[in-house]
Chains A and B, each alone.
Chain A
Amino acid sequence: MTAPSTTPGSPAVATEASIQVRNLNYFFGKGDLRKQVLYDISLDLHPGQIVIMTGPSGSGKTTLLTLIGALRSATDGSLRVLGQELVGMGSRQLVELRRNIGFIFQAHNLFESLTAAQNVEMAVELTGNFRGKRQQAVDILSQLGLAERANYKPAALSGGQKQRVAIARALVNQPQLILADEPTAALDKQSGRDVVTLMQHLANEKGCTILMVTHDNRILDVADRIINLVDGRLESDESPQQFVDSHTPQSLDQKMFIM
Chain B
Amino acid sequence: MKFPSLPRIPLAWYNLRHDRPRLLVAVAGVTFAVLLMFMNLGFLGALVSTTTNFYDEFNGDIFLISPQSLEISSTKAFPRERLYQAKGIEGVQQVMPLYAEYALWKNPETSLSRAMFVYAFNPSDPVFLMPELNTPEGRRALQQPNTAFIDRRSRPEFGPQTVGLETEADRRRITVVGQYDLGGGFAADGTLIMSDQNFRRYFDPRPLDQVNLGLVLLEPGADAQRVKVALQDQLPADVEVYTKTEIVLKESQFWIQTTSIGFIFGLGVLVSFIVGTVIVYQILYTDIRDHLREYATLKAIGYSGSYLFKTVIQEAILLALMGYVPGLILALGLYELAVNATAGTLPMQMTVFRVIFVFTLTLLMCALSGLISVRKAVTADPAEVFA
Stretch at the interface among B140-148, B233-241, B297-305, B362-370: B297-305
Residues of B within 8 A of A112 (CB): 18
Known: A95-B299, A123-B301, A134-B3. A111 touches B11 (CB 8 A): yes
Residues of A within 8 A of B7 (CB): 130
Does B5 make an interface contact (CB < 8 A)? yes
Residues of A within 8 A of B8 (CB): 125, 130
Known: A122-B9, A122-B11, A130-B7. A98 touches B383 (CB 8 A): no
Contact partner of B3 among A103, A105, A122, A131, CB < 8 A? A131
Are B383 and A72 interface neighbours, CB within 8 A? yes
Q: Once the chains are docked, how many angstroms separate the CA of A103 from the CA of B299?
A: 11
The closest CB in chain B to the CB of A95 belongs to B304
CB distance from B117 to the nearest CB of A (A): 61
CB distance from B298 to the nearest CB of A (A): 7
Are B304 and A111 interface neighbours, CB within 8 A? no
The closest CB in chain A to the CB of B15 belongs to A113
| Most chain A beta carbons < 10 A, residue from B1, B382, B383, B386 | B386
The closest CB in chain A to the CB of B287 belongs to A113
Are B302 and A122 interface neighbours, CB within 8 A? no
Does A133 make an interface contact (CB < 8 A)? yes
Residues of A within 8 A of B304 (CB): 92, 95
Q: Once the chains are docked, how many angstroms separate the CA of A101 from the CA of B297?
A: 13
Are A103 and B383 interface neighbours, CB within 8 A? no
Q: Once the chains are docked, how many angstroms separate the CA of A99 from the CA of B303?
A: 8
Does A223 make an interface contact (CB < 8 A)? no
Does A96 make an interface contact (CB < 8 A)? yes
Known: A111-B291, A133-B6. A99 touches B301 (CB 8 A): yes
Does A109 make an interface contact (CB < 8 A)? yes
Are B301 and A134 interface neighbours, CB within 8 A? no
Q: Once the chains are docked, how many angstroms separate the CA of A71 from the CA of B303?
A: 12
Residues of B within 8 A of A132 (CB): 3
Question: Quick one: which of A32-67 are within 8 Å of B by CB?
Answer: 62, 65-66
Does A126 make an interface contact (CB < 8 A)? yes
Secondary structure dominating the interface of A: mixed
- A133-158 interface mask toward B, CB cutoff 8 Å, 1 = contact, 0 = none? 11100000000000000000000000
- A224-239 interface mask toward B, CB cutoff 8 Å, 1 = contact, 0 = none? 0000000000000000
Does B89 make an interface contact (CB < 8 A)? no
Known: A131-B3, A169-B301. A71 touches B386 (CB 8 A): yes
> What number of B residues sit within 8 Å (CB to CB) of A?
30
Does A220 make an interface contact (CB < 8 A)? no
Does B293 make an interface contact (CB < 8 A)? yes
Does A259 make an interface contact (CB < 8 A)? no
Q: Once the chains are docked, how many angstroms separate the CA of A125 from the CA of B302?
A: 10
Are B385 and A107 interface neighbours, CB within 8 A? yes
Residues of A within 8 A of B291 (CB): 111
Residues of A within 8 A of B11 (CB): 111, 113-114, 122
Contact partner of B300 among A62, A98, A111, CB < 8 A? A98
| Most chain A beta carbons < 10 A, residue from B293, B296, B301, B383 | B301
Does A79 make an interface contact (CB < 8 A)? no
Known: A65-B386, A95-B302. A130 touches B6 (CB 8 A): yes
Does B170 make an interface contact (CB < 8 A)? no
Residues of A within 8 A of B383 (CB): 66, 71-72
| Most chain A beta carbons < 10 A, residue from B3, B8, B293 | B3
Contact partner of B294 among A66, A109, A131, CB < 8 A? A109
Residues of B within 8 A of A181 (CB): 386
Residues of B within 8 A of A106 (CB): 386
Does B17 make an interface contact (CB < 8 A)? yes
The closest CB in chain A to the CB of B299 belongs to A95
Are B382 and A109 interface neighbours, CB within 8 A? no
Does B387 make an interface contact (CB < 8 A)? yes
The closest CB in chain B to the CB of A113 belongs to B18
Q: Once the chains are docked, how many angstroms separate the CA of A63 from the CA of B7?
A: 36
Q: Once the chains are docked, how many angstroms separate the CA of A223 from the CA of B323?
A: 55
Does B353 make an interface contact (CB < 8 A)? no
Q: Once the chains are docked, how many angstroms separate the CA of A66 from the CA of B386?
A: 7
Q: Once the chains are docked, how many angstroms separate the CA of A113 from the CA of B15?
A: 5
Known: A111-B11, A118-B14. A96 touches B5 (CB 8 A): no
Residues of B within 8 A of A109 (CB): 293-294, 296-297, 385
- A sample of 25 cross-chain residue pairs with beta-carbon separation below 8 angstroms, ordered by A number, consists of A71-B383, A95-B303, A95-B304, A98-B300, A98-B302, A98-B382, A101-B302, A103-B300, A103-B385, A103-B386, A106-B386, A107-B293, A107-B385, A109-B294, A111-B14, A111-B291, A113-B11, A113-B14, A114-B14, A121-B6, A122-B298, A130-B5, A130-B7, A130-B8, A169-B301
Apart from A111-B15, A111-B294, A121-B9: 18 A-B pairs, beta carbons within 8 A: A66-B386, A71-B386, A92-B304, A95-B299, A103-B301, A103-B385, A105-B300, A106-B386, A109-B293, A113-B11, A114-B9, A118-B14, A123-B301, A130-B6, A131-B6, A133-B6, A134-B3, A181-B386
